[in-house]
Structure 1
Amino acid sequence: MNKFPLFFGIFRLACEHVLRTMRRGRETLLTLLEAFVYDPLVEWGGAAGGGGKRRTTARDVRAAVAMMAVRAHELKHHFNEVTEQFLAVLPDIKQCAEDWLKENDELKSVETRLQDCHQQMALIKEIEAYGPNLNNHPLYAISQKYTSYKQAKNAVEDSMKMLVKILKDFDTQIESFASTTEAINGPQLMAWVQEFSGSNDEEEQPIFEHIKEFLTNAGQGAMLSQCEQAETELYQSMKQTHHLVRSCLELLSQYVAVSQYYPQSHTEYHRVVMFRKCLAAALESRSPEVCREVASQVTAQISVDNNKDDTSQQIINYNYRLQNMNAEANANLNKAIERLQLEGGPDALALAQEAYREAKTNISNWVRTEEGAGAALECVVIGMLCNLNRRYLMLENGAQSAGDCLVDLTSREGEWFLDDMSALSMQAVELLSLLPLQSASAEDAAMPVAVECVRNANLLLADLVQLNYNFSTIILPEALKKVHSEDPSVLLMINELNAVIMNSPVPLNELLTQLEMHLRYLVMDMESPASGAPLLAAEVRARYEALLSASTSEAEGQSAGRMLLMGFNGLFAAVELRARELADHLAIPIPPAWRKIDHISESMHMSAALQSPVLRAVLEDIFLVRRVQSIAEVFAMVAQCACAFKANGPPSLFDDAALCKPVRRFSAEYVSRCVLGVHSKALAAVLCLLLRRARLDLHAEVEQKEIGASWSVSLESLCEKARRRSPAAERGAALARALQAARARVQRAARALAAHARRAAAAHRARLTHAAHSHLHAEVLGSSQESGAALLRRSRELSNAVERLSAASSKAGALLTAAHQRVKWGAGANPALSGVAACTLAQKYSLKVSPVEESLMEMLHPEGNIDTQWGNNLASEFLSQEKTVSDQIQALWTTRDHEVAVSEARDAAAALLDGLAQHHDALLQLHSNWVSESGARKLTRQQALTAPGKTNAIRQGGERNAVGAGVWKRVRLKLEGRDDALSQRRHALHDQRVLDTCATLGGSEQTEPRPDPGYTEQLSGRRRPAEGRRLRQIILGVVVRAARRGDPRPGDLATRDPVTRDPASWRRDPRL
């Protein structure tokens, strides 16, 4: 080194540093060098079979990923340290940044003030430069300018404060209106109404009745009279308050009913809301331009509201028409009330039903008691059914000839034709119920089919009547209310329905024309030019059903629009479903001879199109399109009424007849196309079957009257031939006529009630609509706010009543307190009160003293109040008892512990005597058996370490080195901080210590004699417990260690190594 002085510089220092670093991490360095020498992952040579670039394989990718993972793991600790340092510095950086921003703001403010000071200084210098000519400087008049500026500034601030106050008032009004509307439109109002709907008579319990005798005997008559007077005043105040509360709730209910017709846009564009928006815009900008614009908007709004000449006239005309409709509805309601009174009043239906049940009971009793009454009654019923069928056929012929005027066809009594048909059908079904149909069905299989057809036709007519009734009383009022109030869900539903109609392949009217043409060609059995019409109708049906199914996806919380559409469609769907059930019973077997009977021939002529399933399918498509048209037409008319109600459209106003006309038109057309002839044909077939059952040869009767080609046999003449003259028949006819009269009375009462309900709903709707329109346009109409004034007056009355009630309650409470004190004072002088006081005390305190408190009081009753001394005495008592009980428990546990210890010692001694010799022999044979058994046993813990050694063959590119993989595994464990060799060495040292201890124990046992029975007795008697426990712990430690190494047999204890390794490494093991 002395020959080369150049090396005594930086290079030498660098080399020494490298050597120190290598010595410090020599284990890691050597392991890494070994990994590179064995080359487990990196291919240093070229491809097999020659030079050139080798293609990347999956193994190379895995190797690269593994190397990257190793590098990431190496950097993990450094990254964590950097992250911790960065996180530790971050709060300081944040604090410094905040301090800097704060100081920067202060600097800017100081600079601003400095600039102002410079300007002021420049102004002062300028004034100094003027000298005596200061009058010419602008600053000379600064006081007057400042005064004007200050006045303007104060005026602006005052205006801003006033505007803010007005804005707060507007916000208060809007919030109060919203909260009030939510309260009265929710369930709270109904809860209040139900709470105050009942009487408060049960609350009028006498307060001073129980002490009346006591006060009288005590000479307190004045106090008693005062108490009774106060009690009377209190009850009167309660009654008055209750009455006023009910009146206010009624007014609120009326207001809610009227307010439900208010459109939401009226609230959104109300003056208060609009002014509030203008004020908010002015306050937000605070610029003169915006203020002038807001002022112009307010002026324009006021001028528009004041100059509504055309709109005002339209509003007045609409209100006048609403008033006329209201008067007309009230007149119709009065007529319905008079009709109901003629039928027997509100209880008319119940009385009529009672009379009908009595008439039916009379017939049942007569049939059961008199012989031959059943046959006589059957003959009478056949004649009555024949007359009913004739009347029904006359109604059907009139309906068929009415054509398009069928929707307005009424009887002489003013009843619509559909109501008359339903009433006659119901009478026929009731008469059929008197016949023994079960026995008749057993004799003739066609009888149940015909009877079921009659009943289904009756149910179909009832569904059509119910369709019109439910629409006029439920659907129409709800639709008017929701559309007038601009419910978003209802408006969305109407738009979706209109979209279904507009998006149909062809207009609905044209589609109906094609379907009618297709139906005519099918009836004539010709090829139809409109054969594609059913496909178009099916597409319309699919779109409409998709609109309906959209509501079923909302399992909970369905919108009002969806529910309204589903309810409206449900009325039509019930009719369609009933018609399908009726179609299943239309195939009544009609013999050819019966077709010449007049009732059957006429009915078959009217119901010819219903006999074919193909024609019925086309009719279903037609009426589906009619249904969609009717629903859309109703909603369109309601929307027009709502626009006219707000004065935003043409003054269109439709009465109830016009609004119900689309549904009545649908019902009339449905009856004329799908119902006429069905009921009369089925009833005629039932009559023919009954005549055949009565031993009347219909075939022979028809053949006897065969004259010409257009001849027919009267069903009335056939029924007359089957009729029997007898006193029983006359009795049966009288009873049947009484039953028919009772049934007619029931139907009249039901019609009167239905008409009353329908017209009451119409009158109520007209009254609410007129009141809502009057309140909505009160400024134009000049109508007095009667409801608002009434509410205000009732609220003042209610406030006064509440004050009176509070005063009466206070007075009664004071007198009650005085009377209570008097009773307490007289309790000692009057022994009669002791029993009552005892019961009162028992009832008062028995439920308020718990068992724990009762035991405390019984254990140490206090002489006075509960104080600290009493608590200390009680605590000392508890401590003494607790100590006594604890000593007893400890004594018991000590006895039990001794017993357990003795039994455990005896078991341990027996185990030592049995297994100590075997363990001793196994330990002595450990070194001699190790070598002999190691060759025969297979070590399978680490397969990589027992792999064959490295061969001299040339390794190919795709071959993996097992030794290199093992080296790489050790490198990875070392880098991860999990050195498996170190842990193995630690386990080996621990096992060596255990083995040395066992060997020492075995050697000592060889020198010591075996224990005699006396020593065993000493162990069982626990005379040397410490030595026994120590010996037991040593043996158990050996057994546990052997079990942990996976060897359950004590004899093999010395044959297993804690860590399996290469056999060559056994010679390096210090234990061997």
Structure 2
Amino acid sequence: MTQNIEAALGVTGTEGIFRSACEQVLRTMRRGRETLLTLLEAFIYDPLVDWTPDSESGYAGAVYGGDQALVSGARQSRQQLERGLTLSMFAVRMAEMKADWLANKLEVLDAIPEVELRLREWLKSHEALAGAETNLQDGHHLMALLKEAEANPQHVLYGLRSRYEEFSRVKKSVSHAKDLANARLAEIKQWHGLYLTAARVFESGQAREWRAKVNSIGALQTSVAPVIEFLSKAGQSQLATQCEHTEVELGRVISQVQGVLSNSLDLLIKYESVWVNYPADHLTTHRLSQQLMWLMSLLQDFSLNNVQMLITKSHTEAPDAAAMTHVCNVDMELHNKALQISSQSQKVYERMRGEGLNDRVVVVNAVQETSLAISSLITDHGISGVAAMTCALLNSLTQLTSARLRADKTAAGTGEGLVDLTVGGLWWLRESMVTLGGMVELVTLLTTHSPPTYPQETPVIQAISALHDVFASLHELVLNTSGIIIVEGVRLFWRGEPSVVSLATELQAVVTNAPTPLSALCQQLTTHLRLMILMMPPRHENALQEATMLHQQLIEVIERITARENNSASSSGDMNQGQMLLMGFHLLFESVETQLDQLMDAISHAPLPQPWPRVDTAREAAEIMAPLQDPALRQVLRTLLRVKKVQTIVDFFTTAYQSSPSFKKTESTSNRTRSNQFDEERLQKIVRRYASDCVSLLLLGLPSHLATHLLLLHCQKLGINVTGYIEARDVGTEGRVSLEGVVQEALECCMTRHALDPALPTSAASTLTHHLNAVRKKLLLRHWEGEAEGLRTTHQRVTDQHLAHQWWYEDILKQRVVAPPVQPTRGSILGDLRSNVSKLLALHQNVSELREKYTNFTGNVEQRLKWAAGSNPSIAKALEEFSNGVEIALNGVVELLQKTRTSTPDAKTKVKRHPLTGKVVQEHNAYALNVWRRVKVKLEGRDFDPARRATVQEQVDYTIKEATNLENLATLYEGWTPWV
């Protein structure tokens, strides 16, 4: 509102009539705001309404004229006027030319196809003319040749007939040879496709899934039994007999089919177990693949040179004497290896029988019975029974602690010989697992019958449990490496799997590129640790950084291999065999490291208070224990252990690769003379060395230390002052405090307090001894079963490799019989498969005939039941039972259809709908919606203060002030939308 407009309102200006009119208009609009907002909301979704604020092309400009009034009131220059006239004349000329231009366009479009047709006809005529001219020229040449032959009786043209006959014979022979080659190529392609299909089945392991499905098929359910009575009463006994006989015959044939199928799948699985040991590239070197390649090359180039080259390739060169000797040596080594493993398995079973571990049920029941005996003793004698059992538990735990300390001291004295140390025929780590299992059992019983009362007891119990978990993870590392990693790794390296070969090369590069050899790095870290313990200046601080970088490089190699093979296997959705082997091996080490971290955390919360370390078992254990309380020393130990982990992984794969015999035909003679057979004990020793290093670095003495701490806490709980007892007896250089003395003092105090009968502690000790013996047998049984299972798996692997070796070098081994052939032979398996296929084909015909016959009979029965159901409603139940029995064969199809229907998304659900109303979501104009919101705010009187609703007078006063403000000059002339 300009000053001129305000002056035109008269003397009152914006007051008086103008203000009253504004208030009346605004009051009317606010009263009818629901109608106005509803109308505007309808326009929001109207695509024909243009809400753009452009005054020249928008809806407001079209209705209100925009700024045309201002433009018409301004003076135009002559140049602008001429430009406008020129544009107007141009528009008029365009309108006049439009009709003729479109007509011309249609004529040109109609003429183009005809022109193209004429052009093609001209090209054909031109080609015919050129051909005629060429034929004419050839005719002239032939005429000259004939005249020359008439003049010369010795002309070569007179021998054309004989040469043509020879050419025809050669051409016919070549054509016949090509036909034979094409026929052979089609046959080879078919067999090659079938072989590749079988290879995919073997690689994916589908044969085992098929066998499981076949074995899960139940017997055929009878459907005629519910209606036999009805048919007999209806005079259709013969029909009932025929249905029942056909049903029995069909069930018998189906059982035969199931048996033959199961037998065939067993043969396929056996063949698969041998086939997976073939060379990784045998699909490309197979005779079918080679013949396919030769035939395709022959059909592409049927020249004499190519034929002679293919004949040369097809003639297999006889192997030299060194190669034959190498094959025979490997065959004998595999035979001897299988005999050796069988002998070891026999010794394991004899050992189990000698220790009474041949019956697992008896061993497990013995543990349960002795556990019930302990519970019965406590229940029968009440508090006295608990006290007596507590005394027995403390006495047994003291003896076990002393025995464990002696074993740890022996292990510490052997040094690197710990990897070969055996106790009672068991490897040291397995014997330690048995001892720790008994210690954990005692701690569990002690905690059950004497719950923790001191806050220090729970951390010590948790530390003992974590220590047992560390030993269990080490045992799992050794056991799974022997039963899974070595078996699978040996098989993959044996067949030359490219993924594991490249994996071994990359891991070897990590060690090769390291600035310091791993053995020297371990020696530097050991020296650095000793200097830190002696508080002397360290000399190998850079070894820590180098070891950390080496471990990080190993992790990067694992992540890179994983990422690369995930990308390459994304299409198939399966992991590569090399990746699975590496990841499985590395996860076993990660499990050990995780358990070690938990153990270190538990030990940090269970320090041994002074002066309890003066007890003999605690002092002797501290002499061989690792410095685990100091975080800096603990970090050096963990770094040293990680270096040994890297060394173990690299040595394992490098050793497996270097000793892989494989099926290399290009192997040098020097390599053939060496023993190429895998040595599982050598690979097991690599992993056992890591477990031994882990125990000797971190775990020696720790079981006795924790058990001593727990025993002293229980002694103090029984009523003696352990600290005062130790200080009173640990006097002078000869003063020593024995753990047994402390425990005996506590036991006497307990027996005196509870006034125990001398026979009760003896009975409790005897019961506990029987229970510990049963627990030890159970733990030994678990370890010997693991050993037997590992030997069985290794024997199966060696047998399959021996079969694969004999099948692959069948031609060579027929000439030199070295080891007896392994059963079954390939010919027997293929013969049995061929026989089973013939049986299946014959049974399939019988099943088809019986099914058709059975369907006809059941159709007749069902029809008679329907007739009878119409007159006798009681037949409806029999009809329903019969129909259910007949249609049971279609259940699989029905389920498949239901799965298809449920797995196929409905197209209607893809339509986007409102989550509340369910209506289809419409598109709205964002600018119009913004205008609608601002109109709503103004009609509610919240435009200048959203916190409250203004009155009509306040809103009119605010609007007049905004309109007369010079900063808002001429804003309201651009249409009505700026008002909002």
Q: TM-score, normalised by structure 2?
A: 0.71
Distance in 1 (alpha carbons) for counterparts of 2:732 and 2:978 = 119
Change (3 A) 1:762 1:231: same
Matched, 1:745 2:763: no
Structure 1 match to 2:630: 612
Matched, 1:298 2:335: no
Q: Structure 2: which amino acid aligns with 1:628? A: V
Helix, strand or coil for the counterpart of 1:589? coil
Structure 2 match to 1:455: 465
2:269 to 253, 268, 286: 253
Distance in 1 (alpha carbons) for counterparts of 2:404 and 2:81 = 105
Distance in 1 (alpha carbons) for counterparts of 2:861 and 2:448 = 84
Matched, 1:380 2:398: no
Distance in 2 (alpha carbons) for counterparts of 1:740 and 1:484 = 45
Helix, strand or coil for the counterpart of 1:433? helix
2:335 to 314, 323, 343: 323
Structure 2 match to 1:644: 662
2:700 to 654, 672, 676: 676
Q: Structure 2: which amino acid aligns with 1:611? A: Q
Structure 2 match to 1:768: 800
Distance in 1 (alpha carbons) for counterparts of 2:120 and 2:406 = 99
Matched, 1:720 2:747: no
Change (3 A) 1:158 1:108: farther
Identity of aligned residues (%): 23
Aligned-pair CA distance for 1:139: 1.4
Q: Does the 8 Å CA contact 1:598/1:715 hold for their aligned counterparts? A: yes
Q: Does the 8 Å CA contact 1:440/1:447 hold for their aligned counterparts? A: no
2:534 to 511, 524, 527: 524
Change (3 A) 1:819 1:720: closer
1:241 to 235, 239, 257: 257
Matched, 1:734 2:758: no
Q: Structure 2: which amino acid aligns with 1:191? A: E
Q: Structure 2: which amino acid aligns with 1:712? A: R
Distance in 1 (alpha carbons) for counterparts of 2:415 and 2:108 = 94
Q: Structure 1: which amino acid aligns with 2:765? A: A
Distance in 1 (alpha carbons) for counterparts of 2:558 and 2:388 = 54
How many pairs were matched up? Answer: 784
Aligned-pair CA distance for 1:102: 6.1
> What's the CA shift string for 1:180-204, capped at 9, x where partnerless?
222344364233211222464x326
Aligned-pair CA distance for 1:720: 2.6
2:598 to 569, 581, 584: 581
Superposed counterparts of 1:804-823, under 5 Å: 804=843, 806-807=845-846, 810=849, 814=853, 817=856
Matched, 1:138 2:156: yes
Change (3 A) 1:103 1:802: same
Structure 1 match to 2:220: 203
Distance in 1 (alpha carbons) for counterparts of 2:501 and 2:547 = 25
Structure 2 match to 1:631: 649
Structure 1 match to 2:932: none
Change (3 A) 1:108 1:186: farther
Deviates more, 1:462-471 or 1:630-639: 630-639
Distance in 1 (alpha carbons) for counterparts of 2:741 and 2:850 = 91
Structure 2 match to 1:191: 209
Matched, 1:622 2:640: yes
Change (3 A) 1:207 1:336: farther
Q: Structure 2: which amino acid aligns with 1:657? A: E
Change (3 A) 1:661 1:105: farther
Superposed counterparts of 1:832-911, under 5 Å: 834=872, 837-839=875-877
Aligned-pair CA distance for 1:345: 7.2
Q: Does the 8 Å CA contact 1:483/1:491 hold for their aligned counterparts? A: yes
1:659 to 673, 683, 687: 683
Q: Structure 1: which amino acid aligns with 2:301? A: S
User: Relative contact order: is structure 1 or structure 2 higher (C-alpha 8 Å, sep ≥ 6)?
Assistant: 2
Structure 2 match to 1:121: 143
Helix, strand or coil for the counterpart of 1:610? coil
Q: Structure 2: which amino acid aligns with 1:572? A: F
Distance in 2 (alpha carbons) for counterparts of 1:345 and 1:831 = 67
Structure 2 match to 1:796: 835
Deviates more, 1:188-197 or 1:253-262: 188-197
Superposed counterparts of 1:41-56, under 5 Å: none
Distance in 2 (alpha carbons) for counterparts of 1:835 and 1:468 = 73
Q: Does the 8 Å CA contact 1:453/1:679 hold for their aligned counterparts? A: no
Change (3 A) 1:505 1:39: farther
Deviates more, 1:429-438 or 1:171-180: 429-438
Change (3 A) 1:360 1:841: closer
Change (3 A) 1:543 1:114: farther
Superposed counterparts of 1:426-465, under 5 Å: 426-436=437-447, 441-442=452-453, 444-465=454-475
Aligned-pair CA distance for 1:108: 6.2
> What's the CA shift string for 1:692-739, capped at 9, x where partnerless?
223334445445555764763322233233333633322321232232
Q: Structure 1: which amino acid aligns with 2:830? A: L
Q: Does the 8 Å CA contact 1:318/1:644 hold for their aligned counterparts? A: no
2:714 to 674, 680, 690: 690
Distance in 1 (alpha carbons) for counterparts of 2:711 and 2:533 = 29
Unaligned runs of 5+ in 2: 1-71, 752-757, 815-820, 885-962
Structure 2 match to 1:895: none
Q: Does the 8 Å CA contact 1:522/1:615 hold for their aligned counterparts? A: yes
Q: Does the 8 Å CA contact 1:258/1:768 hold for their aligned counterparts? A: yes
Aligned-pair CA distance for 1:422: 1.4
Distance in 2 (alpha carbons) for counterparts of 1:696 and 1:1046 = 95
Unaligned runs of 5+ in 1: 1-30, 43-65, 847-935, 948-1043, 1049-1072
Distance in 2 (alpha carbons) for counterparts of 1:447 and 1:464 = 26
Distance in 2 (alpha carbons) for counterparts of 1:79 and 1:504 = 82
Superposed counterparts of 1:78-97, under 5 Å: none
Deviates more, 1:311-320 or 1:800-809: 800-809
Structure 2 match to 1:1054: none
Distance in 2 (alpha carbons) for counterparts of 1:83 and 1:460 = 90
Compute the RMSD of aligned alpha carbons.
Answer: 4.4
Distance in 1 (alpha carbons) for counterparts of 2:693 and 2:213 = 49
Distance in 2 (alpha carbons) for counterparts of 1:688 and 1:822 = 86
Helix, strand or coil for the counterpart of 1:371? helix
Distance in 2 (alpha carbons) for counterparts of 1:345 and 1:1047 = 96
Q: Does the 8 Å CA contact 1:395/1:417 hold for their aligned counterparts? A: no
Q: Structure 2: which amino acid aligns with 1:803? A: A
Q: Does the 8 Å CA contact 1:356/1:739 hold for their aligned counterparts? A: yes
Q: Does the 8 Å CA contact 1:263/1:484 hold for their aligned counterparts? A: yes
Aligned-pair CA distance for 1:318: 0.8
Change (3 A) 1:296 1:438: same
Distance in 1 (alpha carbons) for counterparts of 2:308 and 2:488 = 46
Q: Does the 8 Å CA contact 1:468/1:663 hold for their aligned counterparts? A: yes
Superposed counterparts of 1:557-576, under 5 Å: 557-576=574-593
Max Rg structure: 1
Q: Does the 8 Å CA contact 1:644/1:653 hold for their aligned counterparts? A: no
Q: Does the 8 Å CA contact 2:865/2:875 hold for their aligned counterparts? A: no
> What's the CA shift string for 1:609-653, capped at 9, x where partnerless?
333222221222222122122112222233235443445543422
> What's the CA shift string for 1:539-576, capped at 9, x where partnerless?
11222222333467659754333332222111111111
Distance in 2 (alpha carbons) for counterparts of 1:107 and 1:486 = 67
> What's the CA shift string for 1:655-677, capped at 9, x where partnerless?
32122111111101111111101
Aligned-pair CA distance for 1:429: 1.4
Distance in 1 (alpha carbons) for counterparts of 2:800 and 2:232 = 58
Helix, strand or coil for the counterpart of 1:434? helix
Helix, strand or coil for the counterpart of 2:602? coil
Change (3 A) 1:814 1:571: closer
Distance in 1 (alpha carbons) for counterparts of 2:497 and 2:104 = 63
